[in-house]
A and B are shown apart, each in its own frame.
Chain A
Amino acid sequence: MNQNPILSLHPLTKFYFALFITVSVIIVPNYIFAYAWFPVLMIIAAVAKVAKPFISFILKTLMILLVIVFLMQLFFYPGEDVIGSWWIFDLTHEGLMHGLSLTSRILAIGSAFILFFRIVDVKDFVKALEDIGMPPTGAYIVLSTLQIIPEMRRQSNTIMEAQKTRGVETDGSLIVRAKAFFPTLTPLILSSIASTEERAITLESRAFSAPGKKTSLHKLTKRPIDRVLPWVYIGIIIGLIIWRVFL
């Protein structure tokens, strides 16, 4: 059993935490509040010992987006209060504020879910969803998809190489390259579709669609903290709503 205080939490507790951050930054309009979530998430990542992949992931996926979103707002958001100008563009105070609030929310919500997928195993999460009522077929679809994607990627490379030897050109003008798309994808789709019939027979021989309760080898346990924490989130959210509406 994992002894790490973060990693050993129930997957749903972690998922509700990401949802909790999402809802909280929607309720509270202040951008400082939304930006403040980021150090909190960093601390959680550090405790869970995933700080390094967490940060490199954010640098790779979120940074460019945030910069572009921010600049777009700064230059193009309609406003009256001009605070500076660059080339043909006017920078407005409204644009700056809108840029800050938009990027702060994207950063908070985006990094919350990036962290969620660093600290949870997809298999555990799917099992947790199954426990709260997702049909087992759904769990099968998700997990088998994760297996099939790398398999089909390899297959597409093989097909592409094979088509190249036949004389299908993959370099050259846009039209030439676009033409290579069809002979690569069509055989891949057709062969994959044909394979589903075999898979259906295999699954049926193991009573896949037989009615009745399914048992699972993979079990998740809920500890007292996993029962308490979701209520804490709900409590804070209600508190924030009251604060927003009445104060």
Chain B
Amino acid sequence: MLKKIKADFNLLAVLLIPIGIAVNFVGFQVAQILRLPIFLDTIGTILIGVIAGPWVALVAALITNSITAIFNPVYFPYVVTSMAIGVGAGLLSKYGMLSNIFKTIISGLVITAIAVVVSSPITVLFFGGATGNTSSAITATFLAMGQNIWGAVFSSAIITEIADKVVSVLLVYFVVKSISDRYLSKMKYGHLYMKKKNTKNSKKNDQAS
């Protein structure tokens, strides 16, 4: 098991990690510049999960949140959410859930569910339900309407996460479609997304030659 995980971390996968982390930050920044109401700060993690596997994505998520912690350590507990998203994206990719656009949207919903289930307890237990972003206002509205704290945090998390994660996964789907076969062939799950469909034969040929 450990050896298998170590094999995931080949040099190209390792070099993909800084790129993925930077994409997380830049995605967030571009979303801010365009004044979009969503964060889009896990695109890099999802991308790594989809082409390099769940374990590499887990490490990328851990480092992303550690670097965020340099600037604002308060949100570090959400590292668990990012890691779950990375692993989730990796597993969805493994079972071919990003092979067409319809499945990709389903994957986006699954990742939303993961994000909500993992982040809501953190929001309630560490911050008492509000962290000062847009979803806090929604949470407060639900609470004022008489919902209990768990219901309010869950509902507001679903509302804010669903667009965020579905858009992120769709973007990853389109990006992966445009990555060259040459690069994909070196990634763990790359063969699932290569345009040449006779991959098995070409692999055999490679080994033979």
Contact = CB atoms under 8 A, between A and B. Distances in A.
Contacts of A45: none
Interface residues of A, number: 65
Find the residue from A76, A114, A178 having the highest chain B CB count within 10 A. Answer: A76
B18 A141 contact: yes
Interface string A179-213: 01110111011101111110110011000110000
Given A77-B128, A114-B73, A156 B18 contact: no
B26 A156 contact: yes
Contacts of A141: 14, 17-18, 59, 63
B70 interface: yes
Given A141-B14, A141-B17, 12 more contacts: A62-B74, A65-B131, A72-B136, A76-B144, A98-B128, A145-B67, A170-B34, A181-B31, A189-B19, A199-B15, A200-B11, A200-B12
B17 A185 contact: no
B175 interface: yes
Contacts of A78: 148
Contacts of B139: 72
B16 interface: yes
A146 B127 contact: no
A137 B21 CA distance: 15
A180 B30 CA distance: 10
B98 to A, nearest CB: 15
Interface residues of B, number: 59
A178 B34 contact: yes
Contacts of B47: 189
A197 B180 CA distance: 12
A61 B72 contact: yes
Given A142-B63, A186-B171, A117 B70 contact: yes
A151 B29 CA distance: 13
A19 interface: no
Contacts of A181: 30-31, 34, 36, 40, 167, 171
